[in-house]
Amino acid sequence: MTKQQNQCNSLWTDEMAQSYDDLWGDHPMHHKVVELSELDASSVVLDIGCGSGTVVHAVADALTSGKVIGVDPTAKMIELAQKKTVESNVEIEFHQSGAEALPIENHIVDVVLAVNSLHHWSDVIEGLNQVRTVLKAKGRLVLIDELWDELPEYQKPKCDDAKQAAHLEAFKSTEVIMATLNEQGFKSITKRIYRAPDVAVSVITAFVN
């Protein structure tokens, strides 16, 4: 994929998925996620929109017990993620699924992660409902996104459908995301910016109760 081929929600072709993996599949940001999300080493973690699985594997490396589940609606992403699977102390599962219909038991997850993913969900409200359903009491959602305003080449999604392009833009705004989380009943919503020479991201954390 050139950086800005059609990125409409879940309509990722095999070619786009492969190109995404080649270009962005192993970004320094992915290796910061464990630290940024302050994961406990015995957590059950779900990565929504896991792409080709780098974060899932980084989390699995950091856990001593628990489990990591990656979901993504793009078949090719799941294929790439499964190919990367390496030995780990904990169970790793991948499922082909969007945020809107998670194939996960209710209330088993400690931390839901979504890295550069939320703005791709075709129905953010239903996705957040699903997040609430799979999280345990006191569980949390951690949204990690690049600082889109500082990456001009990312700003205008090249999307054939104007409505979907507007959706992609809206959910790149941390203000829109935080307001939506609040409207959907999430608690203790915080945002922080993390900057290092090779990584600059926003980290939004929201608790289920």
Q: What residues line the site for ligand SAM (CB under 6 A)?
A: 9-10, 12, 24, 48-51, 72-74, 77, 98-100, 115-117, 120-122
Q: Rounded CA gap, 57 and 189, in Å? A: 27
| Closer to ligand SAM by Cβ: residue 137 or 163 | 163
Residue 193: burial class (beta carbons within 10 Å; 0-12, 13-18, 19+): exposed
| Closer to ligand SAM by Cβ: residue 16 or 206 | 16
Q: Which residues pair with 129 in a beta bridge?
A: none
Task: Work out how close the CB of 77 gets to ligand SAM at its nearest, in angstroms, rounded to a whole number.
Answer: 4
Q: Rounded CA gap, 12 and 164, in Å? A: 14
Task: Work out how close the CB of 32 gets to ligand SAM at its nearest, in angstroms, rounded to a whole number.
Answer: 11
Q: Rounded CA gap, 131 and 103, in Å? A: 11
| H runs (alpha helix) in the chain | 14-24, 33-36, 54-62, 75-83, 124-134, 152-155, 162-170, 174-183
Task: Work out how close the CB of 181 gets to ligand SAM at its nearest, in angstroms, rounded to a whole number.
Answer: 16
Task: Work out how close the CB of 11 gets to ligand SAM at its nearest, in angstroms, rounded to a whole number.
Answer: 8
Tell me the CA distances in angstroms from 85 to 40, 57, 66, 138, one per residue in order: 21, 7, 17, 30
DSSP 39: -
| Closer to ligand SAM by Cβ: residue 10 or 184 | 10
Task: Work out how close the CB of 115 gets to ligand SAM at its nearest, in angstroms, rounded to a whole number.
Answer: 4
| Closer to ligand SAM by Cβ: residue 18 or 43 | 18
| Closer to ligand SAM by Cβ: residue 37 or 138 | 37
